[in-house]
Each structure stands twice: as C-alpha cells, then as structure tokens.
Homo-oligomer: A and B are copies of this chain.
Amino acid sequence: MADNFVFEDNVRIYDTDAQAIVHYAGYYRFFTDAAERFMRETLGTSYPLIDSDTWFVVVESKAQYRKSAKLGDLLSVVLKPELLSPKALKFEFEILRNGERICDGYITQVAIDRNKWKAVNIPEGILSKINEIL
C-alpha cells in the first residue's frame, strides 16, 4: 500500500529573493533534497547517479505555489513515489508549513544508460524495493 515519506528542511537565505520569499525555482531544491533522501534512506541508493552505468535524468518538473515560504520557515516535504513504467519514476511532492500545504508539484525521471544516453529499465533491485513500498 502506498506510503508517504516526509522530510524536513529549512528555508535558507540563499533560497530567498528580493520579494523576501523563496524564489519560485528554489522550491525545486526542496523537491531534490527529498528525492535524494528518499532514494538513500528508503531505497539505499545514491541519486541521481545510481551506479556507474545508470543515471536518473529528469524529464519533467512542475510546481504550484499556494502560499509563500519565508526565511527560517521549517518545511515538511511529503514525497509520494509512482512508477509510471519500468523506465520512468515520478515523485509527487507536497510542501507543508505548520500543517498547511503551501506548495505541491512533481518531478519525473527516466533511467538511462549513461554511456549510450538511452532509456533503460530501472535496476531490478530498485524496482523491487519501490514495488514493495507501493
């Protein structure tokens, strides 16, 4: 059964811009940090360079901003994995502040053979662990 994974992060000065809120593209740092921690802590693999042959490359990213995060805010980043195909893995994200959703979005990544730069199946060990937690 699908589970959610939650990671905490802080808004740092370099995440903000002259509007005194997190720069819109800066939210992708929180997405990336959660993805990296999920891959490392739950799947036991590095990210996005999986092994010497296989990399994940991002093919799509999206974010909707509902409230503005500010310097010093403590954010909870909720990650929900979805296997789109044996080659493509989507991470859906929600960012919460004090329990209120302020941002959501996703990044979709495809496994590639880094030498041929062609899509390949996600390594079996990762696939089976993802299927276990879904």
Contacts and interface: CB of A to CB of B under 8 A. Distances in A.
Interface residues of A, number: 39
Interface in A45-68: 46-49, 55, 57-65, 68
A117 B62 CA distance: 24
Given A17-B14, A18-B20, A72 B46 contact: yes
A23 B19 contact: no
Interface residues of A, dominant DSSP: mixed
A36 interface: yes
Contacts of A12: 32-33, 36
Given A29-B25, A32-B25, A71 B55 contact: no
A127 to B, nearest CB: 21
A126 interface: no
Interface of A: 10, 12-14, 16-21, 23-25, 28-29, 32-33, 36, 46-49, 55, 57-65, 68, 70-72, 107, 114, 117
10 contacts: A10-B36, A14-B17, A14-B32, A18-B20, A19-B114, A24-B61, A49-B72, A58-B65, A60-B62, A61-B61
